Structure 1
Amino acid sequence: MDYRKTRSPEAAAARAGFSTATAYRLEADSRLPSQKKAPRGRRRPDPLAPYWDAEIVPILKAAPGIRVIGVLQELRRRHPDLSRNIRRTLERRIQAWRAVHGPEREVIFRQQHEPGRQGLSDFTDTSSLGVSVAGERLDHRLYHFRLVFSGFEHAHVVLGGESFTALAEGLQNALWALGGAPKEHRSDSLSAAFRNLTAEARDDVTQRYAALMDHYGMIATRNNVGVAHENGSIESAHGHLKQALEDALLLRGSRDFADLDAYRAFVDGVVGGRNANLAKPIALEKAALVPLPKRRTADYEEKAIPVTSSGGFTLRRVFYTVPSRLIGHRLRVRIFDDRLECFLGATPVARLRRGRPVSDTKGGHVVDYRHIIHSLRRKPMAFANLVYRDQLFPRSAYRRAFEALQEQGDPRRACKVTVGLLALAHEQACEAELAEAINAELDAKRLPDLAALRERFRPATAAIPEVVVELAPLGVYDELAAVGAPNVGAAA
């Protein structure tokens, strides 16, 4: 075309290396081949043409959130002869329509975070991990704390619900493990702590939460209710943490732990390994944290409860046994997420596992047979209809023994032998060994012989050694006095 400005078509084509025919073709139409190509038309009739404007668009306008499958089902209900194979076509058409005519969508605003500014708290359900303790499935969740800038995280096993007590204990554990506190603490409004509480109780929880924040010099903020992405820095981390725990459990080869402390140590190890990969940003953020106070604040609730003649007390629909010598006294009970600590005045007298009600209509029991066995030995038939009898067995072997004895048709003997077995386990401190012996007898289709077991677990009698004392002759003292006399004179 540049040559054509000053030359004839034949000369311009020759200079450019084209044929004369090409020159005259370009002279007639200078468009590129791609511009001349006509768009491909439909290869088959549009299956949605009869319904799009008349039925589909009105449905999309009336119900903006409806799924494509819902629109398809409605069309097939109205037109049974409509093919099922139009789903993909309908999805593409609706997606394109919504991009142009659909409602405005929410925009996520990415934030720039500075070191030491914000820490997040949340709870996550971990029932999918299938963890058990001593063979019993562990119903629990994790309190999860995370720093937004560095990604430092801390996890605490919670046995109850999302209570203020669990939050206070988990948060303080995280801050003291970190060695500092962020300037701002964000949570999901502590809805679980306030749920089903009276106005007075809600005010109490709010005041304690404000006191907790003041103690560590943090500003409390909350995300909007139901807007999970405002806590996105920890919501997304929940899935990563649970996947890391799942991988570690698979490598461990077992999901059963000897006790709760072993499982907590396992979780701490997994979280510690994740934090080790973020050593540099964590070190950078630690320098910007607020220094910790001299001591922790209370992470428990406290109640004053009397011990009844039943040998225990009832707290939040759960009955707990304590040593019977405390009957008639009023205990000061500190309520933690997983335990109760009981004080008589300032003296600690008992530490109990925290129990939960069985259901909304049925309470629970936390019973230690050692607290009542001395009274039960004097009245063994009380065992037959004891309200917490099923919770009294420390191991399944003792329950098996009682059931096997009951099958013999003599309830009096069943109660007496079972109480005797529990007393033997307590007096000789042989609960586990006695359980193994009982299981062995029952597996051999024999009932446990209480007299034989008492003889077997009776402490071995040791012979008293004969001690011979040889007295020194009295003349030795005279010799000592004679030796020491000149020294006394020299000193004088």
Structure 2
Amino acid sequence: MRLLKVDVFAEIRRDARIEGLSVRELARRHNVHRRTVRAALESAQPPARKAHVRSSPRLEPFVAAIDAMLTADLDAPRKQRHTATRILARLAEEHGATALSYSTVRDYVRVRRVEIEVEAGRRVNAFVPQGHAPGAEAEVDFGEVWVILAGVKTKCHLFVFRLSHSGKAIHRVYSTQGQEAFLEGHIDAFETIGGIPTRHIRYDNLTSAVTKVLFGRSRVENPRWVLFRSHYGFDSFYCEPGIKGAHEKGGVEGEVGRFRRNHLSPMPVTDSLAELNDRIRAWDQADDRRRIATRIRTVGADFTTEQPLLAPLPLERFDPGLSLTPRVDRSSLITVRMAKYSVPARLIGRQVRVSLRASELVVFDGRTIVARHARVVARGGESVDLDHYLDVLKLKPGALPGSTALAHARATGSFTAAHEAFWAAARKTDGDAVATRELIDVLLLHRSMDAADVIAGLQAAVTVGAVTADVVAVEARLHASQHPETPDKPSSSRDRVRFLSVEQQRAEPRVVSLTQRRLADPAAVIAGLPPDRRPIPSMAGYDELLHLPGLARGEELPAREETGS
């Protein structure tokens, strides 16, 4: 199969989708083999890179001179204005442009002359009201928004997707307007409305989609964006560059301002963008009850009519993440977009695959997910997980107290007051080194047990004065057996945990360490410990083994006969 561009695959899939052409007809139209057509219909990923499209480097040094000639024509008599031939002649005489062709100058002058006249106000752009068929078109745009994020005033970006017919809009706030946020916003919008516009979606010339703006409506698109469009089966419509094209997607331009004024003023205060986007989803549902201008029906009522006319979603979900392969440094950190993220220490010195998404970063070792972080907004920021360093700290316990990972765990709340109390009690009885090793063993329990159970085990161990990892494990298993998981208590929740009261802890039987009890309280005596209510040991079960089956109790075994050699 010869190498092909993404565009060819996209055109083949589009013709098959819209016109329903056969494999043979598609191969004839696009001048490719039938195997290539079948490959394009099976997957939107072509086997070749997109060919590099070059500009006109010979014309660029003379663009300013051409613009000056066209600007001078604004005040010249109509019959004495420059033609493309005269401009080419002047460039050769005055600027030594002997390598330029007539067609290159002609194509540039045709477009640039109109632009200069519009900029000077010589041509008035008229607006014609447009109608939009249900389920056919949509518009997308980004807008700036400021958020008080975790106590810091932060500049973020509002993604807006708006159906042109009903005015149904989907909004999301991201820390970036890069391609990963651009694609993730589309996917979230498609899944929310339950379909895809059948005709096209209108855009500005965003760098996430367009790598070069050519003349007219022609664009050189980003290969990954072409792959995304081909996967979801829709076409793009690009507006004219600058302010001239703003009216071509005026619906979403106005929607950005409306939503920002009504829901994001004053600046929203939030701990995370995920929390803010949850609130935005509720606002989007509430906005379905509003009416646009003089419409009789609400947005929600028009969307109910429009939704069945949308194209269905593909079976597979597109991965919007940007794939990167950073190398893990000696601090078990990777650097992605000027921010650092921790990974398990066993990966030090290796390259890992990273999926950088709009709101999170996922790290893979092969096909296995080994780390997941919320995306760091601040440049130079860090996201460090204490669990990634436990295997190293097991060998170097003295590095734990001053470690950055512990500071991050305390700041995020994953290292709770129960952990602090256990560590302090263990240091009091066993010393710093032994206490730190016990704490690390406790932290390793979080890999296999629910956080609520481990914390309950920590509290129980501190209460009875038996501050060892074994006691915490026993008490955690006891708590897990007494509090089975329910739909209201997910197993992975670290924020919503349930604790036993002090009275409940004292009423339940607990494991008691006599040695640590005496060390913690030298005045304690054996008489003060809980009574031993276990039954007296019995040897009856072993006595049963001394008798053969079928013999009466007390009957002696038959004597063994001796045989000669």
Moved more, 170-179 or 461-470: 461-470
The one-character-per-residue Cα deviations of 1:192-229 (angstroms, maximum 9, x if unpaired) are 66689xxxxxx997111111111222111111121322
Distance in 1 separating the partners of 2:328 and 2:382: 15
User: Residue type of the partner of 1:180?
Assistant: G
Q: Given the superposition, is the C-alpha separation of residues 153 and 396 from structure 1 closer, same or farther in structure 2, using an over 3 Å criterion?
A: closer
Q: Does 1:296 align with 2:317?
A: yes
SS in 2 for 1:149: coil
- 2:237 maps to 221
Q: Does 1:175 align with 2:190?
A: yes
Q: Given the superposition, is the C-alpha separation of residues 184 and 195 from structure 1 closer, same or farther in structure 2, using an over 3 Å criterion?
A: closer
SS in 1 for 2:326: strand
- Unaligned 5+ residue runs, structure 1? 1-60, 63-101, 197-202, 399-414, 433-452, 479-492
Of 137, 147, 151, 2:167 maps to: 151
Q: Given the superposition, is the C-alpha separation of residues 139 and 195 from structure 1 closer, same or farther in structure 2, using an over 3 Å criterion?
A: farther
Of 255, 259, 266, 2:269 maps to: 255
- 2:44 maps to none
- Unaligned 5+ residue runs, structure 2? 1-73, 76-120, 213-218, 290-297, 416-431, 453-464, 476-509, 513-531, 551-565
Distance in 1 separating the partners of 2:144 and 2:466: 47
Of 240, 246, 250, 2:258 maps to: 240
Q: Do 1:367 and 1:391's aligned partners in 2 also have CA atoms closer than 8 Å?
A: no
User: Residue type of the partner of 2:223?
Assistant: Q
Q: Do 1:146 and 1:234's aligned partners in 2 also have CA atoms closer than 8 Å?
A: yes
Distance in 2 separating the partners of 1:314 and 1:454: 42
- 1:270 maps to 283
Q: Does 1:117 align with 2:131?
A: no
Q: Do 1:186 and 1:222's aligned partners in 2 also have CA atoms closer than 8 Å?
A: yes
Q: Given the superposition, is the C-alpha separation of residues 379 and 345 from structure 1 closer, same or farther in structure 2, using an over 3 Å criterion?
A: closer
Of 207, 213, 219, 2:223 maps to: 207
Of 178, 200, 207, 1:184 maps to: 200
- 1:37 maps to none
Distance in 2 separating the partners of 1:373 and 1:352: 17
User: Residue type of the partner of 2:180?
Assistant: T
Distance in 2 separating the partners of 1:471 and 1:384: 53
Percent identity, aligned pairs only, is 24
Q: How does 1:405-420 map to 2 (within 5 A)?
A: none
C-alpha displacement of 1:349: 1.4
Task: Give the superposed CA RMSD.
Answer: 4.9
SS in 2 for 1:281: helix
Q: Does 1:372 align with 2:421?
A: no
SS in 2 for 1:330: coil
User: Residue type of the partner of 1:255?
Assistant: V
TM-score (norm. length: structure 1): 0.54
Q: How does 1:81-100 map to 2 (within 5 A)?
A: none
Q: Do 2:386 and 2:406's aligned partners in 1 also have CA atoms closer than 8 Å?
A: no
Q: How does 1:308-457 map to 2 (within 5 A)?
A: 308-356=329-377, 358=379, 363-372=380-389, 375=392, 392=408, 394-395=410-411, 426=443
- 1:285 maps to 306
The one-character-per-residue Cα deviations of 1:8-28 (angstroms, maximum 9, x if unpaired) are xxxxxxxxxxxxxxxxxxxxx
C-alpha displacement of 1:454: 11
Moved more, 284-293 or 307-316: 307-316
Of 125, 132, 150, 2:149 maps to: 132
C-alpha displacement of 1:126: 1.8
Q: Given the superposition, is the C-alpha separation of residues 131 and 318 from structure 1 closer, same or farther in structure 2, using an over 3 Å criterion?
A: closer
State how many pairs are aligned.
326
From the CA coordinates, give the structure whose radius of gyration is larger.
Answer: 1
SS in 1 for 2:309: coil
User: Residue type of the partner of 1:262?
Assistant: E
